[in-house]
Chain A
């Protein structure tokens, strides 16, 4: 079967979901009112509350939510065959993510543009806010650890990409100054920056001297370096330390100096990446060689699939963007469907093309199975396979595979680095907020909070042992990342359901995905904690066990909160009717 068919079917499902399902949700459930005065108009202050054109807002929303996560998850999950991954991405986007992103946007718009955290304390109680802070803390900690590993791993596997990624930093600082101090436009300088980056990537693909290959510098794969570490372990260690130092500096700078200009460049990269992959797919018309399902999997797809693909099917992080910034800029309430629902469809499209790139890469099913020999092997290799697969798709456009692979790895690393920067920044704020909550004054200081964030993330990245030794096991944390992301989505869906219930509306479209997510997360975590990571089993892992157990406690906590919040509502309504 041709890979184009997957894209066609996916496109059709997304189209139908947007055209019909989101319309029903908009009219019958959220009941959008075009005459409602949105917070952007009500509190218009020219800073946070600014009425914005829906196309512009969608563009901004989509570029904020799309990143490396909807690529990594699907690239791993195809281990169970392409069908389960494709189905979860399509159905998850249409019935869960769309409703979730759209719903958090509407909920926030109907509540003065407040963020999900504030709404949680309003709808459930003060305790919910602390719970919320802890879950976000857990999520950003996982994001930091996983993405630091992703970048280090790609730097080691694709050394030609290192130069371009590092060139992006001074270029971004230059754009920041150019735009801020000289009031210049940003489209042209950011396109020039992109051209310089890709040019250096192309040159580096052909000139080995420009490839910063630490493993080679340390004497090749078999060599032993300081502290008895092998060359690959040492390379992981050095890259992670470099990244953490970088991220410390980046996350304490004002956003306009580095983070925002990087985002301008990354917006182009997102468009370039999607165009490269979809056009490449159209022109190269590759065959799907991966098996439909994997009958001999060492780990069952059910329920692990639902936490392996989080972003791309449903992601709690989107709720933070929907309610944090987009809700304050919505010009008309009727635009919420376009911005929120279509934002998640955009992310679903990215996840879908990531799946296609991986499942069409190998010449035969046998080679696919050899690389994806077990769940751990798939987790370690998935992203590398995606990049090579994407490179192969790009050959349809006449770009040499090695150059395309370098460019795609530059794109993925840039996304991951920006996510890392923002999430360390977010973690710093949360640590400071918890410091305030519990009156631990030193934690409220910028450098203390940043140090705590960076050191804990670095430790978490370095501890897991992968097959390549010290620091190479960051992928083991992936299911934990997926779980904390799903938990966040679960809370947001719960809040929307409570709100709908209080309005006397049908809340099934939001409570069903919530129950589904919580059930799958709970099952997957109990399964992993008691069979894979438990200290009483062979191949146990204390760290994963501890984190898994913490997440389990949080899940139960949310479920209890949910049941008590909904039953409290029931009592209230009985009292009211009496």
Chain B
């Protein structure tokens, strides 16, 4: 029984080794999509006209933490937008 458990565990670790780069790639694609979403929501702040901006601002409280991660990822230490003061 113990042998079976060990074998299962080894197989599990091996499966994780295989899926590591794949998971990373999926996470990267999802993150890129999210960045695009964020851009669509707040493009007005960057000077791209967005007729829905008034409404998207309602999402602001939910998204502020993600916005902070986003601008750090884009290489900006401080929030680039006057309207959003996350840090």
Contacts and interface: CB of A to CB of B under 8 A. Distances in A.
Interface of A: 45-48, 50, 52-53, 55-57, 59-60, 63, 179-180, 185-187, 190, 255-256, 260, 263-264, 267, 329
Given A45-B69, A256-B22, A53 B27 contact: no
Contacts of B73: 45
Contacts, number: 55
A60 B17 contact: yes
B18 A47 contact: no
B14 interface: yes
Contacts of B31: 45-47
A56 B17 contact: yes
B21 interface: yes
A46 B26 CA distance: 10
A186 B17 contact: no
B15 interface: yes
B20 interface: yes
Given A53-B13, A55-B13, A59-B13, A48 B18 contact: no
Contacts of B24: 47-48, 50
Nearest to A59: B17
Given A56-B16, A185-B15, A260 B22 contact: yes
A181 to B, nearest CB: 11
A179 B15 CA distance: 13
Contacts of A179: 22
Given A179-B22, A263-B21, A47 B28 contact: yes
17 contacts: A45-B73, A46-B27, A52-B20, A55-B13, A56-B17, A57-B20, A59-B13, A59-B16, A186-B15, A186-B22, A187-B11, A187-B14, A255-B25, A256-B25, A256-B26, A260-B22, A264-B22
A428 to B, nearest CB: 18
B26 A264 contact: no
B30 to A, nearest CB: 9
A255 B16 CA distance: 18
Nearest to B23: A50
Interface of B is mostly: helix
B71 to A, nearest CB: 13
A53 to B, nearest CB: 7
Interface string B24-67: 11111001000000000000000000000000000000000000
Counting chain B residues whose Cβ lies within 8 A of the other chain, the interface size class is 10 to 19
Given A47-B28, A48-B24, A186 B69 contact: no
Given A45-B69, A47-B27, A47-B31, A60 B13 contact: no
A264 B21 CA distance: 10
Nearest to B28: A47
A263 B24 CA distance: 14
A57 B18 CA distance: 10
B21 A260 contact: yes
Given A47-B28, A56-B16, 9 more contacts: A47-B31, A56-B17, A60-B20, A179-B22, A186-B19, A187-B14, A260-B21, A260-B25, A267-B17
A264 B18 contact: yes
A56 B13 contact: yes
B18 A180 contact: no
B63 to A, nearest CB: 16
A267 B18 contact: yes
Nearest to B69: A45
A329 B25 CA distance: 14
A497 to B, nearest CB: 30
Nearest to A265: B18
Contacts of B20: 52, 56-57, 60, 329
A264 B11 CA distance: 14
A499 B45 CA distance: 43
A60 B21 contact: yes
Contacts of B25: 255-256, 260
Given A59-B13, A185-B15, A180 B21 contact: no
Question: 4 closest Cβ contacts across the A-B interface?
Answer: A59-B17, A47-B27, A56-B16, A187-B15
A50 to B, nearest CB: 7
A190 B25 CA distance: 18
Contacts of A267: 17-18
A52 to B, nearest CB: 7
Contacts of B17: 56, 59-60, 63, 267
Contacts of A55: 13
A507 B83 CA distance: 51
A59 B18 CA distance: 9
Contacts of A187: 11, 14-15, 18
B18 A190 contact: yes
Contact of A53 (B16, B21, B69): B16
A247 B67 CA distance: 39
A57 B16 CA distance: 9
A152 B17 CA distance: 31
